[in-house]
Amino acid sequence: MADTLTVVTERTGMVTDHQAAGVSVVLMAPWQIILVRALRVYLQTLVGLLTALGTGAAATVGVSLSVGDFWHLLLASASIAVAPSVMSVLLNTIELLAKIDATNPQLRG
């Protein structure tokens, strides 16, 4: 039995037909897709920073945070991880605006 392929889209006209029995279509608003992507980037960055800083691997390349315990390491990593997720929101918003511009040339005004 094959795994089901899940496709996330903002287009309401997307439906599965009988030929694509292993495809599941999930409709999400564009802002939800942007939020999910930003949250994924935040969590991946947070885990990466905790791993690199907590094990001392970051010190081998000259990056070090002087924190005494895990709680302070978690707070420092959580605050540093905000920047990549903000960049993700900005980049995905630009992508969304480019799609709107391409599909609605009358809005260029």
Query: Cα–chain-centroid distance for residue 95?
Result: 13
Hey, what are 94's tokens? 């630009």
Lowest mean pLDDT among 5-9, 23-27, 32-36, 42-46: 5-9
E-strand stretches of 43-108? none
For the chain, the average pLDDT equals 80
pLDDT in the model for residue 7: 60
Question: CA-to-CA distance for 95 and 93, rounded, in angstroms?
Answer: 5
CA distances for 57 relative to 41, 60, 62, angstroms = 21, 6, 9
Higher-confidence residue of 65 and 96: namely 96
Q: Which residues of 46-60 are buried (b: 16+ CB within 10 A; e: fewer)?
A: beebbebbeeeebee
Confidence at 78, pLDDT banded by 50, 70, 90: very high
Higher-confidence residue of 8 and 99: namely 99
pLDDT in the model for residue 36: 93
Q: Which residue's structure tokens are 């302070």? A: 72
pLDDT above 50 for 1: no
pLDDT above 50 for 18: no
Question: CA-to-CA distance for 101 and 5, rounded, in angstroms?
Answer: 29
Answer yes or no: are the C-beta atoms of 100 and 107 closer than 8 Å.
yes
pLDDT in the model for residue 40: 97
